[in-house]
Chains A and B, each alone.
Chain A
């Protein structure tokens, strides 16, 4: 892969929510390819390219912690906004956060002290014009990642957990893994690969396996990835 990149990412907390447990969020053990893609897109993305995650190196032991917060139960309804626009008044347009109907106390089981290396490359999409070529986008990404530039600060699953990043240059060694020998190989079970936005937002899953501290991510449309 000539135009692959390696990015070191780390953070104090992370929450890669399991879709089957998202009322009281429980995180996957490791970052999902989908979240990793989001981190790369926060640094550089254009409709002309599509990021593909190849490998995820897990650098820190998997540890969990629980946090319970007051959240709100409902979302802004478009109909309410339309009424307000029509009436030219925001008077009735608000959400009462501590109303007992709205307030929900939810716990999140989140990861602590995470660090990964993402190995990825991108492909050009149908939207790529004549001025798009692989070298250009690769250079933009590398330049930004090297300088710490980003479109927005990337996050570890949710925005309250910022992700810090630094580019690993091709000749640079990977950061040392902090995993104990018995943690290097593990079956992580079925894990979300990504959402198939072309096919009605269909989630697709793959069998994640940690081998010598590395998860090899299969191709999104391969047989190993099931919807």
Chain B
């Protein structure tokens, strides 16, 4: 049974002394909105963590495989597959046999959680169309401006012999880390019941998705990330599959106020914030605070 309700959610997570999402354009500095100096975390960064979490917990469960993996194995048997099937890759148009295409798409949806949730493009040489997933995430943005710090670190070893010779035995290299001392980030998400119908995104999938949001940072520890934690997940559940209230009106109900220190200056901990949810006059929408 696919989900029968439209959902929107506000998800808050924070970082202490870490880099939540590096910017490849800026030497891996934490992403910044140049206009407001607020920190950014891209939608794809968060989707990666959701995929990783599902892969970690449900790797062996049938139907919860992950298509876009993060692992360094070379495994591209495209050509072999083409040869084996004797398929000509000439046409780039939609396949002539629509049943074939539908069969392929639904098989992928059935087996892969990330395709059911986020969709996938299967428009290669042999075109199978594309599926749009029900789950849509926007960019996460910090509540207040952040001040990224550049920390220099040293390593008491060098990589090559040549380097060692040049340093005449000093054997030291310098490195750099970028951290955000503290930042609370807010992201908005949307789940369409109508698209869920098309990919087969079920209630169980939804529960797993909420669980991933709750726990994904707990399983994404690394030297770069510092301390990241999920702080709050407010879910708006519409009674109607199409929705009962505009998304923006619901998001405005979740207010994050600065209670310690000046607004629009960098904060130093989660206790600097107060989260309040306006639950009055909700028509056809229920609020679930998942944590």
Contacts and interface: CB of A to CB of B under 8 A. Distances in A.
- A, B bound: yes
Chain A interface size, as a band, is 35 or more
B233 to A, nearest CB: 18
Nearest to A107: B25
B72 A152 contact: no
Interface centre among B25, B81, B190, B245, by most chain A C-beta atoms within 10 angstroms, is B81
B127 A78 contact: yes
A159 B72 contact: no
Interface in B134-188: 134, 136-139, 188
Interface in B193-221: 194-195
Contacts of B66: 94
Contacts of A152: 132, 134, 136, 190, 192, 194-195
Interface stretch (A54-62, A116-124, A141-149, A219-227): A141-149
Given A112-B35, A147-B245, A160-B44, A78 B74 contact: no
Interface majority SS (helix, strand, loop, mixed), chain B: mixed
Interface centre among A74, A81, A98, A153, by most chain B C-beta atoms within 10 angstroms, is A153
A99 B123 contact: no
Interface centre among A13, A78, A112, A162, by most chain B C-beta atoms within 10 angstroms, is A78
A147 B246 contact: yes
B108 A76 contact: yes
B121 A83 contact: no
B224 interface: no
Nearest to B84: A83
B65 interface: yes
26 contacts: A65-B34, A68-B23, A71-B44, A72-B68, A75-B122, A75-B123, A76-B128, A78-B95, A78-B128, A79-B82, A80-B77, A80-B78, A80-B81, A81-B108, A92-B75, A92-B77, A98-B71, A101-B74, A147-B243, A147-B244, A148-B245, A148-B248, A150-B242, A151-B242, A152-B195, A164-B247
Given A79-B82, A149-B240, A162-B190, 20 more contacts: A70-B24, A71-B44, A75-B122, A76-B120, A76-B124, A77-B78, A78-B101, A79-B81, A79-B87, A82-B81, A96-B69, A97-B70, A148-B246, A148-B248, A150-B192, A152-B132, A152-B190, A153-B136, A159-B136, A164-B246
